[in-house]
Structure 1
Amino acid sequence: MSKLDSGMMQIKCVEVAELLKSLAHPSRLMITCYLSEGEKTVGELQELCDISQSQLSQFLGRLYREGIVSSRREGQFSYYSIKSKDVLKMLESMQKIFC
């Protein structure tokens, strides 16, 4: 492996480690697993995950800031979805292995 390849590997490893750190809470992981099935409203996620609205808002805020989820507003509802196709593929792989 050349130095350039090694340098790129280090950069990618840091990126992946940050992504995994973002998902390294059971509730954040559960939220992203449900979102991997398709777009959901905050109310739907709250019911599915059985967590308080304030906790859900904190978790969604972090996932949004870290570029894992995107949101859109339609009327009085906020809809969330997985932003990155790579994250979606990773979540699908984890579900196949662990679920």
Structure 2
Amino acid sequence: MLDRNPDSDPDCHSDHSSDHRLDHCPEHYIDQDAMLQSAEQASLFLKSLANRDRLLLLCQLTEGEASVSDLEQRTGIGQPSLSQQLGVLRREGLIAPRRAGKQVFYRLADPRVEALLGQLYELFCRPQGPDEQPDETIGDVK
């Protein structure tokens, strides 16, 4: 992660005593084009996850490969919605199919999915201890 305080970076050899703007330190220069490109990629990635059914399917697939019928049973998502959401995830490259006879099995195809779902689990799904209260304001529109 980029340290936004150049004075605290022991590897920065520039004198920042008079000006703390990062664009004056080559070691801390933020390439705006690269940042825009990364933001666009992140936005597209998050859009592909921004659906309750797709999140449920991906959560199931973090436990390993599953058939379409298994996913339908475990998530309660019926046809044709299940096929539609699996199609979106497949087109986005987040899951990959494997055909075995008449059955189709799916697995996660993008390692970023499991990493992000782990964070989402910690924020939204992790069982709360007796002294912890879930944050019920997240997502509330007032």
Amino acid paired to 1:71: P
Which of 11, 29, 35 is the equivalent residue of 1:9? Answer: 35
> Please, which runs of 5 or more residues in structure 2 have no aligned partner?
1-27, 126-142
Q: CA deviation at 1:76?
A: 1.4
Local SS of the residue matching 1:46: helix
Q: Which residue of 1 aligns with 2:108?
A: 82
Q: In the aligned structure 2, how far is the partner of 1:30 from the partner of 1:11?
A: 28
> Please, which runs of 5 or more residues in structure 1 have no aligned partner?
none
Larger Rg: 2
Amino acid paired to 1:2: Y
TM-score (norm 2): 0.65
Local SS of the residue matching 2:80: helix
Q: Which residue of 2 aligns with 1:52?
A: 78
**More helix per residue: 1 or 2?**
1
Q: Which runs of 4+ in 1 moved over 4 A?
A: none
Amino acid paired to 1:54: P
Local SS of the residue matching 1:52: coil
Instruction: Check whether the contact 1:70–1:83 (CA below 8 A) recurs between aligned residues.
Output: yes
Provide the alpha-carbon RMSD of the alignment: 1.3
Farther off after superposition, 87-96 or 53-62: 87-96
Q: Which residue of 1 aligns with 2:51?
A: 25
**More strand per residue: 1 or 2?**
1
Instruction: Check whether the contact 1:36–1:92 (CA below 8 A) recurs between aligned residues.
Output: no
Listed as ranges, the matches of 1:59-78 within 5 Å are 59-78=85-104
Which of 1 and 2 has higher RCO (CA within 8 Å, sep 6+)? 1
TM-score (norm 1): 0.90
